[in-house]
Structure 1
Amino acid sequence: MPIRDRIRELRRAPAGELRPNPRNWRTHPPEQCAAMRGLLAEIGYAGALLARELEDGSLELIDGHLRAETTPDAMVPVLVLDVTAAEADKILLTHDSVAALAEPDQEQLAALLKDAEFISPGVEELLQGLACLATDAAEDAGVEYEEVVIPESWQVVVECRDEANQREVFERMRGEGYRCRVLTLS
């Protein structure tokens, strides 16, 4: 079966000018918004938004609503698709849903979680939730864990003025070779 390439072009467009899809069925809770802000601040754009061109030349989003809302003043990468409104609805309905069907490889996930270091508290909360979901999935699958032995360690907690100061201290300590984690208490 031949597979059609529906990508017409990669275009840079102002995020604030992208039209939200009126049929978008996903909402974005505060913790997801915080994680997205953190990821965009630390990494930036690493994937394109999906849109289709309307008759008036404007772009209507199919995927990437939260990224566009988070950075309305930014020029963002957009894959302009050659799809009809009905096809856009199919993508809107299934794009993230298919990705959500993936199951975690427990060893790979544990290794990634162990090595990943983020500054943003929102991203850290996302990863903690991911670790809990992975653990629950493993328990549901009957995976037994060995007793965890927590090695002796010495830590310092530094109270910072604000998030910018926290980031500065984190980067300085990490630059000096210390293994650091960000902690935000409310």
Structure 2
Amino acid sequence: MPVWCKNATIKLNGREWQKAEGGKIVEIKRLWCSGDVVELTLPMHTFFNKWAENSRSVERGPLVYVLKIGEQHKLVKNPGYPENYGGESFYEVRPTTPWNYGLIESDKQDLDKQFQFQAGSQTSLYPWNLENAPVSIKTKGRRIPSWQIYNDMAGPLPFSPTYRIEADAREEEITLIPYGCSTLRIAQFPVLQK
């Protein structure tokens, strides 16, 4: 059972056989018959992991979520460069929407209330981009004006907890999508004191 699942359910032929904690191996010993069906239900919950500068990542089940950032792709000519240095041209990707958000400090008991999971109504044949992300999480954040682009990257991550005075007073709804659906990524968020 994966570590991220608190309480899995195993059914055999439509009947509950066992509940199991995450991070354990469950062995099913029985005489098997043709047509037997094993169902495994792995409920997901939202949780944090700590990273650099005491920042937090937002995770749900096996997925890491990142801020949904608008992207502008621009072809840049790179004459004379060999293929192993990027070749004659490359695409530069720049943000078109704000990205410097901090998450508001929260009670660990209420994470599923603060981070509202949403599943899309349809799954695209190619879900790994901003437009077709099959799942998302809505939450609230505040911009941190002092956290700016530096050397064409997100500048140094502010240390958490970041005090309210350093952040914009307005809470904004932000959308988080799976890591693999984005090109520009903020996956480690500063945390703002309540």
- Confirm or deny a common fold (TM above 0.5): no
Higher helix residue share:
1
Band the TM-score falls in, shorter-chain normalisation: under 0.3
Structure number having the greater strand percentage: 2
